[in-house]
Structure 1
């Protein structure tokens, strides 16, 4: 095979992001040379009209490529990056526990994406959130019970793919029992093999049996499966387990290779080669890929084939699986849809909240309430999406509180060191009837837990508080 043909095959396994609100020339030229996919992020969005123009620009250059986003609904959103998601997110859907509601939510998301010509959604999150202090999964998960998470993962996959958009169950083989963020470090899962079989792998097995179009790898070391390699670089995890034991036939997509857990030591080009050699088919390069970075990755893959460190047959297989995914889910476009009918009602969302006896007493107090939100930095997957009651415009600064006014203090990730606890004590000492509200996964101590911070959840929360 000629070097040109190998280079085209290599391009058929890559999915870069880019900086800006219009497609750069290097990206459009890469489509002409076989680029398989592009991933859009919240930073590529300033309005839906602009997004529609961007997607049209990309589709005109490459009608058959994969155009992807991370649109989980809930806290992780790209289409609704500017205001917050109109969907409650997985944790709330899991607590509603109606697979028809879950499927409808996913289908509504799929119809929104399809209207822009987006045909691959890097969702749902199929992780079982078994570690309350998990810094990167939390409310992105359907819950801590594996059978429960598997049922809702299947419903979400089927709902999305019914709308003509490929689903991607993530983060294989399971990121729910981690205490580190793989954007910033290389997490390790120490659970025994039997636990992994009964917990982490169950939702992914169910998704594979349901015909999910793709599954995303995680940059974590699962010691009972492969103590030496992160899952993204592990033939044991990707070939022996995912392909062999779980029988997955679709495309294997990597999580972003610019994350520290993947490339922090070896660099993105080397990470790309290792992932392909291990069994990955489509490589997510990162949200701010430059022309130089893209060329470095492309040249690194081509060189690895020439040197024999990446078998040509493996590259051909990866490109073929990626092309099949694009063929199975061709892009469609049309008018943006109104998905409000598929969004759980505010009362249904509120029914999933946890309330302490203190919260019940606070809510029964007829005094006027004020909501104060403490800004809490989100993980990289969430980004800078408006969240919590502040996204509704209903919060006030602490300095504007009236004497004796009752207060709801809102935050997320309320661990023992969070400043919410000291502020709550200070407000109580000053005569304010004060409760604490957790908009994330509960870690203990909060009076109300909403299991999400999306606009949909926050609107329901504000109706409860005020």
Structure 2
């Protein structure tokens, strides 16, 4: 069915071309691994701009290829995207995603050519699955010690370093015919709140914020085709609204000062920074009016997407949302689709050794502890983030892969009885060497307390970090499988 043959339904009956333009401005999540839901088919037929895949849509590589083929059979210019940062932040583990350590480890390794090889591996894998939009790389700077969401997803705290690696990543992704997306403009690294969970505010002055803009400026200069907005309030830039809903930030700053003319996409509207205060539907309308070109509704409940769509159509019908703004946004999305919607061709192979090499170079950038064998490994880490994939990786598994005599205990999240956990660990360890790993313990005091209790009884224990470095004898700079394997090799002397 073509748009010209479709009679739009909803809160406003608009000209067919304007109805199609409004649908171009939406990116929808959905549920299932087999078949496209009928409601989604109807949205695609009316012009839906894109879909975003998550772990819930992935069983294996062949299944993903069938799914992307089916989506394009409905309409060939549909954009199919996924979050694909590496370092455990991705949704394609069961589809054979290349092991890549994530941005912070790449920044520590400090070799843009190696970053390009890692980005090429990720993009090559995407292209082989029929996915041509990658919501990566992260351009945020990690400089606030209590930031809960950026951390090892960032290339680091230095704008020049981040810019160097962003350029390498963007260029490598582009060569694969995959659209990259620098996020989260104008930077999420200066907050103490995760915008998935609440209103995030960056209280710094205009001058202090300038350094955070530099990686995005570099990404624009490198030709990045997409930028994603942050659900963060910057009082120095706009005291009223988060960046996603701010004309000052999206228009004056990004469009005019940074001269970006690609597709500006929002972070997911169901995140509580938007949903709790505005609601997803109002958020969609306000974001488009403020200058966004596409809004993402990542939840699999298509009724949320439909509510956002209806709010946009209603605002167009009443004149609250100017027609020319939606046509401008849809035009950018069409140009993006002309370049990227259809995979460039059969994806050539990629370098499977780039990720392990990068992870090892990061872990070995500083002298490590003496090697231990037959250790009892204690892995303390927070529960996985609900919006980010977690493939079940843990340090003990990776240590045992290179030293089968190792034993260990994994503690995922704060236990109900920490002293009992400490006692159980010490009994299990006996006289074996003890390794205590924590992940961002400064954000999770329960880890600090358990670590301190263990070290008070076993001062000979080797302390290591699996998030950002916090004084351990070694650091993996992330909890992707390849990060943890590189740390395991250092610990065991492999």
TM-score by length of 1: 0.92
Shift of 1:205: 0.7
Distance 1:161 1:84, change over 3 A: closer
Distance 1:135 1:83, change over 3 A: farther
Correspondent of 2:110 among 77, 80, 97: 97
Gaps of 5+ in 2: 1-12, 401-406, 410-424
Equivalence for 2:432 = 405
User: Aligned partners of 2:94 and 2:447: how far apart in 1?
Assistant: 26
Correspondent of 1:19 among 31, 40, 64: 31
Shift of 1:175: 0.5
Shift of 1:70: 0.4
Aligned length: 456
Distance 1:400 1:167, change over 3 A: farther
Deviations 1:82-138 (A, max 9, x none): 888600110011111111111111111111101111111000000011112210000
1:315 correspondence with 2:326:
yes
Asked whether the 8 Å contact 1:388–1:439 carries over to 2, the reply is no
1:5 correspondence with 2:31:
no
User: Aligned partners of 2:71 and 2:444: how far apart in 1?
Assistant: 46
Distance 1:236 1:289, change over 3 A: same
Correspondent of 2:342 among 310, 331, 334: 331
Equivalence for 2:419 = none
User: Aligned partners of 2:174 and 2:451: how far apart in 1?
Assistant: 45
Correspondent of 1:435 among 450, 456, 462: 462
Shift of 1:194: 1.3
Equivalence for 1:414 = 441
TM-score by length of 2: 0.87
Equivalence for 1:396 = 408
Deviations 1:284-310 (A, max 9, x none): 1123232x2222111110100111110
Asked whether the 8 Å contact 1:420–1:436 carries over to 2, the reply is no
Correspondent of 2:287 among 275, 295, 299: 275
User: Aligned partners of 1:75 and 1:103: how far apart in 2?
Assistant: 18
User: Aligned partners of 1:85 and 1:381: how far apart in 2?
Assistant: 20
User: Aligned partners of 1:81 and 1:439: how far apart in 2?
Assistant: 23
User: Aligned partners of 2:458 and 2:164: how far apart in 1?
Assistant: 47
User: Aligned partners of 1:320 and 1:367: how far apart in 2?
Assistant: 60
Asked whether the 8 Å contact 1:116–1:334 carries over to 2, the reply is no
User: Aligned partners of 1:284 and 1:41: how far apart in 2?
Assistant: 13
Asked whether the 8 Å contact 1:83–1:391 carries over to 2, the reply is no
Shift of 1:328: 1.7
* Paired residues for 1:199-218 under 5 Å: 199-218=211-230
Distance 1:465 1:393, change over 3 A: closer
Deviations 1:368-421 (A, max 9, x none): 312121241133443333234145373623377341211112231211653333
Shift of 1:344: 4.4
Shift of 1:30: 1.5
* Paired residues for 1:224-235 under 5 Å: 224-235=236-247
